[in-house]
Every structure is written in structure tokens, then in C-alpha cells.
Amino acid sequence: MTHEPIPEHERPPVFRAWWQLYAFVLILHALIIALFYVFTHHYS
């Protein structure tokens, strides 16, 4: 894996690297699933 600088037009909109954006999306997805699980058990 090379550590070449990413050109400005290929960077993600918020994070410095695409892997950070992917990690954020996966963590957010897991958090939403966990919240749905808690709400389902609380209100059922």
C-alpha cells in the first residue's frame, strides 16, 4: 500500500480518506440497528 497524497478531486467530502467514510457508515449502521433493537424490546 502506497502513501501517495490523494488528489483534491478524489477526496471524500468530509473525511481525509475513503476508508474513514466507510468506517463511519458501518458504525452508524450498527448504531441504528442497535437502537431499533432497543426500541423494539422496550415498546413491545
CB contact set of 17 (below 8 Å; sequence gap of 6+): 6, 11
Report if residue 21 sits inside a domain. yes
Q: Is residue 3 part of a domain?
A: no
User: Mean pLDDT over all residues of the chain?
Assistant: 91
Which cell numbers hold the place of 34? 442497535
Domain of 26, in residue numbers: 15-43
Number of domains in the chain: 1
* Residue 6 forms part of a structural domain: no
How many residues in the chain?
A: 44
Task: Please tell me the pTM assigned to this model.
Answer: 0.74
**What percentage of the chain carries pLDDT values higher than 90?**
57
Band of the pLDDT at 29, cuts 50, 70, 90? very high
CA–CA separation, 39 and 36 (whole Å): 5
Average pLDDT over residues 24-43: 97
Residue scoring higher pLDDT (5 or 14): 14
The shares of helix, strand and coil residues in the chain, as percent rounded to the nearest 5, are 65, 0, 35
